[in-house]
Every structure is written in structure tokens, then in C-alpha cells.
């Protein structure tokens, strides 16, 4: 038995004494976010979140966990109104902490970065720091390189604050797009040279890339910390036991090699080594 299997097995055996007396019926809320979570019946691969739920169901067989896939705004609306709901997709924010409780991290992923056409990398060299990260604030001060951004998507507090005044003033260097599946639309428009770059997760760039127009991902200097993925459950007795067990499970999953592989499957090859280095540093220095 390898280290990962032993850790999961240990976690399962530690939780099993409560199985019969504390079984809970949980609806696991998910949304379609390829390639992190994919629900297309024709998909040949499964996403990181799909693999994660399988791990949860195997580790917590005493609970009846049924997945429900909904549009993301609907997921948040349902969770906000209470009930026996858990998820692995909600980022921890002060607003969400009012109706959700969050576990220790089960893993870490790259934050949103800059995506451009690979052949246009020379245009961004003057905005790179020594670590190869784009200084987005400096870039946004120029109007010769234009960004395509989603009108209904949040990119995180730091990036949103940089974009907001430019969007509000209709600045030339930011083009706002409001469409269903905005990331796919933005990358298609980038490939057609409607603008010079967009913002997305690295996996999204790989997933929507094409052999004709190769894309390149840059981490953003002002937004370079890995994002902690945490399980969350609604507050209340309906999820008390499941939440407690998910919190214990989360730590065991941090070094799960199969789970890590399902995430790295959608990273561009040049990001895998830096990701592993950042992840090791994050795990060694994490206190939460």
C-alpha cells in the first residue's frame, strides 16, 4: 500500500465508528467548469473536481452523498438558503462565510493568470518580472495592448480592483464581453485577434487551445499565490458530521498523487515544475 492509499485508508477507518449512528443525506453541489469539473457525456477525461468527489464518496461511505450539477449562481443561491448541502467548489470569502463553513485545504491550484497567443509573447516581455510573471498593473496602464474580460465573472479581489475603474470609464485597453460560457467565448475571440490577451486559469487555456493558435499562460505578479481548495458545507445540524469528517479528510488529500495528477493533466508542460515547487512551499509553510 502506497503512502496515499495508507493515508486515505487510515482516514476511513478512523471515521467508520460513527457510520451507522451519524449517517447523513448530503446533496453535493457542483457546476460545469471545464476542465476542473466536466459533465459532458462525451468527455474523454474527468476533471479535478470529478476525481475529488469520487475520493470523498469512497472515504465517507457511511453518508449518502448525491451530486447535483447546476449553474454556479444557482449553487450559491441554494447554499445561501440552507439545507443539507456541501461542495468543493466555493472559494472562501467573507461573504460566503456567513452561510458556509470551510474545511482545511484539500489542495491548491494556480490562480487566474494572463493568456495570450504564443506567437505574441514578445509584446509582453517588457512587463515581466524576474520570475517570469506579468506585472498586470503596469500592463493595464498601456492602451496599445487590449484585454478581453468577462462581464459576469470575478477574477479575485486584487484583479477586480485593477479592472473596475477601467471598465467603468470604458477605457480602450479593456473590452468587456458578456456571454454564456464567457471563458470559451473570450479565448475564441483572442484566437481571432479581437484583443491581445485575456484572463483565465491555466487549465482553461489548455482545454480551449487549438493546434492552429497556440496559447501561452503567464502568472500575474500581483496575484501569484496558489488558491486553497476547501470543502464547504451549509451551517446546521444536517451537515455537522459530514463537515467534521471532510475537515479530517482534507489534510489527507493534500498529498494525494492521483488527485494531483488529475489537476496537472490540464497544466501546460512548462508550468508543471513551477507548480510543484510552489505547492511544496505552500504545504511546508501552510498553517491553515
Q: Where are the domains of the chain?
A: 3-108+228-285, 113-223
Q: Give the residue, 15 or 242, on which the prediction is more confident.
A: 242
Task: Tell me what the mean pLDDT of segment 179-197 comes to.
Answer: 90
CB-CB neighbours of 5 under 10 Å: 12
Q: How much is the pTM? A: 0.86
What pLDDT score does 178 carry? 83
Domain 3-108+228-285, CATH: 3.40.190.10
Least confident among 13-17, 77-81, 101-105, 268-272: 13-17
Q: Is the pLDDT of residue 259 over 70?
A: yes
What pLDDT score does 23 carry? 86
Residues of the chain above pLDDT 90, percent:
78
Q: In this structure, what C-alpha cell is assigned to residue 46?
A: 474527468
Q: Is the pLDDT of residue 1 over 50?
A: no
Least confident among 2-6, 54-58, 113-117: 2-6
What is the pLDDT of the chain when averaged over all its residues?
A: 90
Q: Is the pLDDT of residue 99 over 70?
A: yes
CA dihedral sign, ordered 57, 75, 43, 262: negative
Coil, strand or helix at 149 = strand
What pLDDT score does 194 carry? 96
Instruction: Quote the distance between the C-alpha of residue 129 and its chain's center.
Output: 24
Residues 6+ apart with CB under 8 A from 30: 37, 39, 49, 53, 67, 68, 69, 70, 75, 87, 88, 89
Tell me how far apart the alpha carbons of residues 159 and 3 are, in angstroms, rounded to a whole number.
38
What pLDDT score does 182 carry? 84
What pLDDT score does 18 carry? 44
Q: Is the pLDDT of residue 132 over 60?
A: yes
Task: Tell me what the mean pLDDT of segment 31-54 comes to.
Answer: 87
Q: Is the pLDDT of residue 16 over 60?
A: no
Q: In this structure, what C-alpha cell is assigned to residue 161?
A: 480592483
Task: Tell me what the mean pLDDT of segment 158-182 comes to.
Answer: 91
CA atoms within 13 Å, Cβ hemisphere of 231? 26
Which residues are registered as beta bridge partners of 227? 109
Q: Give the residue, 197 or 284, on which the prediction is more confident.
A: 197
What pLDDT score does 8 carry? 53
Task: Tell me what the mean pLDDT of segment 8-31 comes to.
Answer: 68
What pLDDT score does 287 carry? 46
Q: Is the pLDDT of residue 29 over 50?
A: yes
What pLDDT score does 20 carry? 47
What pLDDT score does 181 carry? 65
Domain 113-223 in the same topology as domain 3-108+228-285: yes
Task: Tell me what the mean pLDDT of segment 40-64 comes to.
Answer: 88
The pLDDT confidence band at residue 227, using thresholds 50, 70 and 90, is: very high
Domain 113-223, CATH: 3.40.190.10
Q: What are phi and psi of 276, to 5 degrees?
A: -65, -40
Amino acid at each position: 500500500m502506497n503512502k496515499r492509499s495508507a493515508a486515505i485508508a487510515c482516514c476511513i477507518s478512523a471515521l467508520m465508528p460513527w457510520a451507522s449512528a451519524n449517517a447523513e443525506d448530503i446533496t453535493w453541489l457542483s457546476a460545469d467548469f471545464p476542465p476542473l469539473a466536466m459533465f459532458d457525456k462525451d468527455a474523454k477525461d474527468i476533471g479535478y473536481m470529478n476525481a475529488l468527489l469520487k475520493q470523498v464518496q469512497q472515504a465517507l461511505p457511511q453518508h449518502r452523498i448525491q451530486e447535483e450539477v447546476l449553474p454556479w449562481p444557482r449553487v450559491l443561491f441554494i447554499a445561501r438558503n440552507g439545507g443539507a448541502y456541501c461542495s468543493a467548489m466555493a472559494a472562501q470569502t467573507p461573504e460566503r462565510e456567513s452561510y458556509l463553513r470551510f474545511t482545511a485545504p484539500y489542495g491548491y491550484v494556480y490562480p487566474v493568470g494572463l493568456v495570450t497567443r504564443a506567437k505574441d509573447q514578445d509584446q509582453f516581455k517588457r512587463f515581466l518580472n524576474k520570475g517570469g510573471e506579468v506585472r498586470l498593473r503596469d500592463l493595464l496602464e498601456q492602451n496599445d495592448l487590449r484585454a478581453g474580460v468577462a462581464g459576469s465573472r470575478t477574477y479575485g479581489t486584487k484583479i477586480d480592483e485593477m479592472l473596475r475603474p477601467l471598465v467603468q470609464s470604458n477605457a480602450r485597453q479593456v473590452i468587456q464581453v458578456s456571454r454564456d460560457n464567457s471563458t470559451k467565448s473570450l479565448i475564441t475571440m483572442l484566437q481571432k485577434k479581437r484583443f491581445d490577451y485575456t484572463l483565465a486559469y491555466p487549465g482553461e487555456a489548455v482545454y480551449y487551445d487549438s493546434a492552429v493558435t497556440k496559447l501561452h499562460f503567464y502568472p500575474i505578479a500581483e496575484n501569484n499565490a496558489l488558491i486553497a481548495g476547501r470543502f464547504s458545507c451549509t451551517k446546521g445540524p444536517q451537515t455537522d458530521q459530514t463537515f467534521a469528517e471532510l475537515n479530517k479528510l482534507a489534510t489527507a488529500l493534500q498529498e494525494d498523487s492521483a488527485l494531483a495528477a488529475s489537476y496537472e493533466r490540464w497544466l501546460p508542460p512548462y508550468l508543471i515544475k513551477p507548480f510543484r515547487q510552489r505547492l511544496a512551499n505552500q504545504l511546508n509553510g501552510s498553517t491553515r
